[in-house]
């Protein structure tokens, strides 16, 4: 049984075993944490660096402390050309499936296309939309296609209430708010105790990140 509370953050926690730290291939420092994810974010992707990032990720993904691929994604507000974003996203999706690792996704104005791509690929590994801020209708659309949703500091409360407990994660991402505060707010919204919510999410984390 793990003690992880935060599935996605870029900030080192006080206790290293209580979070999954997200890295890019160029800043991967596994010695700074117990568990991590690594992926190519579309914000840092260019035509010139795409090949080297993929080559590095192929190697780093096999590190024993890596428990997920990501965050990867498609962001229509990013500078990288969309065809390149999709090419690298698809490559990472296949890498995560090949390694049987969860796939942590950054989606900006691309949710419908990502759902369609997942439907076509039909992967067996879990796919997680991180930092979900959409409305209830979008949350339900993701859920119908087998996604997990992770919520950070800001989110639509109606959407949060609509997510089944077994599809739910919490994260801090780049927020300075402590993960414990996010659990307190979330527990109140779902009308359960903080202890119960922690138990539910930790079981989800064990099932998704540590069962392969």
What is the pLDDT at residue 30? 84
What is the pLDDT at residue 1? 47
What span, in angstroms and rounded, lies between the C-alpha atoms of 140 and 111? 12
What is the pLDDT at residue 50? 97
What is the pLDDT at residue 150? 98
Find the mean pLDDT for residues 91-116: 98
Find the mean pLDDT for residues 93-103: 98
Assign residue 130 the CATH number of its domain: 3.20.20.140
Burial 147-184 (b: 16+ CB within 10 A, else e): bbbbbbbebbeebbebbeeebbbbbbbebeeebeebbe
Cβ proximity of 201 and 168 under 8 Å: yes
Structural domain that includes position 151: 6-209
Q: Over the stretch 157-174, which tens digit does the pLDDT of each residue have?
A: 999 999 999 999 999 999
Q: Is residue 192 part of a domain?
A: yes
Cβ proximity of 189 and 160 under 8 Å: yes
Find the mean pLDDT for residues 183-190: 98
User: pLDDT category, 211, cuts 50, 70, 90?
Assistant: confident
Query: What global pTM score does this model have?
Result: 0.96
Find the mean pLDDT for residues 130-137: 97
Number of domains in the chain: 1
User: pLDDT category, 110, cuts 50, 70, 90?
Assistant: very high
For a pLDDT cut of 70, what percent of the chain falls above it? 96
Q: Is residue 70 part of a domain?
A: yes
What is the pLDDT at residue 33? 84
What is the pLDDT at residue 17? 66
For a pLDDT cut of 90, what percent of the chain falls above it? 89
On the 0-12 / 13-18 / 19+ scale of CB atoms within 10 A, 52 is exposed
Q: Is residue 1 part of a domain?
A: no
Cβ proximity of 125 and 101 under 8 Å: yes
Q: Is residue 95 part of a domain?
A: yes
DSSP structural state of residue 131: T
Is the pLDDT assigned to residue 15 strictly greater than 70?
no
């Amino acid at each position: 049984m793990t003690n992880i509370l935060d599935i996605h953050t870029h900030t080192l926690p006080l206790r290293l075993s209580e979070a999954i730290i997200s890295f890019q291939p160029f800043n991967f420092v596994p010695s700074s944490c117990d568990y991590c994810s690594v992926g190519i974010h579309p914000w840092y992707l260019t035509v010139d660096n795409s090949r080297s990032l993929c080559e590095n990720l192929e190697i780093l993904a096999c590190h024993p402390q890596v428990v997920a691929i990501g965050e990867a994604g498609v962001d229509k507000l990013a500078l990288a050309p969309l065809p390149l974003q999709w090419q690298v996203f698809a490559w990472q999706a296949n890498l995560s499936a090949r390694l049987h690792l969860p796939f942590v996704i950054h989606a900006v104005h691309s949710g419908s296309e990502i759902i369609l791509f997942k439907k076509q690929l039909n992967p067996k590994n879990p796919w997680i939309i991180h930092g979900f801020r959409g409305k209830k209708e979008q949350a339900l659309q993701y859920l119908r296609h087998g996604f997990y949703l992770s919520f950070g500091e800001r989110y639509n409360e109606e959407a949060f209430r609509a997510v089944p407990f077994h599809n739910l994660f919490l994260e801090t991402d780049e927020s300075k708010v402590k993960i414990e505060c996010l659990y307190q707010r979330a527990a109140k919204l779902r009308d359960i105790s903080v202890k119960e919510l922690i138990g539910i999410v930790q079981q989800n984390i064990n099932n998704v990140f540590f069962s392969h």
